[in-house]
A = this chain, B = another copy of it.
Amino acid sequence: MLPFLSRADETMNANGDGMAQARETGTLGKLMVLLDLVTHADAPLRFTDILSLAGQPRGTLHRQLSHLVEEGLLEFDGDGRYAPGLRLLDFAARSWARNEFRLIAEPHLVDLQQATGETVHLGVLRGQSIIYLDKVEGRQPVRMYSQIGNASPCYCTGVGKAALSLLPAESLVDLLAGVNFTRFTAATHASPASLLAEIREIADQGYAFDREEHEAGIRCVAAPIWSDDRTFLGGVSITGPAYRLSMELLAQWVVPVQRAAGRIMEGMRIRLGPRR
């Protein structure tokens, strides 16, 4: 069913990554670490906060931050606090608007939403996270940024586990080695071992459930999506509240979700040409 699982894969990027590992991108890498620090903080940071977090000499840090501010990647308010810069929004808006995968997938997401009445997500695996590329919601107007673009853990989301099921065994182990398993709910996998067992099952079946593993009261079904050149691995999912989505109902949606995933992959092949 998922032939890629067995085949050794040379296009997968080589480094196991580990995330905290020193990057090999020189100046840029150092600056990105800072940008990460500031964007991941709960509130704007003062110079000293960053100083202690980044462990850089004062002079160095000061210049680095100045450069980031000058480029609009950070903003520096009158109180001497650093916040993420608005230029990032412009970059992201363009990145999103033109994303081929998303454009191809969109109609199929809408179909799936209408067939089920529940919220549909599209996500891809990047590093150890799932980045949500799109979301089609049923009822109320959507505050989209709150979800789209957000990076979620791969080990406790439907899309995440579906994506992981596409990885060759070795890459999977490497990737999980770098993950630290935060326990969001009682159902969250707490170790690679139990996760690996489920992933194998998912690989056989071709679909994944999230049984309230990320957020209590929220369930989903997801089906994997991959590109021929394996540039990305990801998935589509249907998500909703547990009181409305019984496991039986979710089981009925396996086929529609898989069909949507299949159509999206077909769309990619047509759009991108056969040779990839």
Contact surface of A with B, Cβ cutoff 8 Å: 11, 23-29, 31-32, 35, 39-40, 42-44, 67-68, 70-73, 75, 77-79, 83-100, 124, 126-127, 129, 131, 133, 136-137, 140-146, 148-151, 229, 231, 272, 276
Q: How far is the CA of A41 from the CA of B193 in the complex (A)?
A: 44
Cβ–Cβ contact A26 & B95, under 8 A: no
- What is the predominant secondary structure among interface residues of chain A facing chain B? mixed
Among B67, B136, B151, contact of A28 (Cβ-Cβ < 8 Å): B67
Q: How far is the CA of A86 from the CA of B122 in the complex (A)?
A: 13
State the copy count for this chain: 2
Task: Report if A77-B141 is in contact (Cβ < 8 Å); known contacts: A28-B67, A43-B98, A88-B95.
Answer: no
Cβ–Cβ contact B149 & A148, under 8 A: no
A240 to chain B minimum Cβ distance, whole angstroms, is 16
Among B23, B129, B136, B229, contact of A71 (Cβ-Cβ < 8 Å): B23
Q: How far is the CA of A231 from the CA of B76 in the complex (A)?
A: 9
Cβ–Cβ contact B94 & A92, under 8 A: no
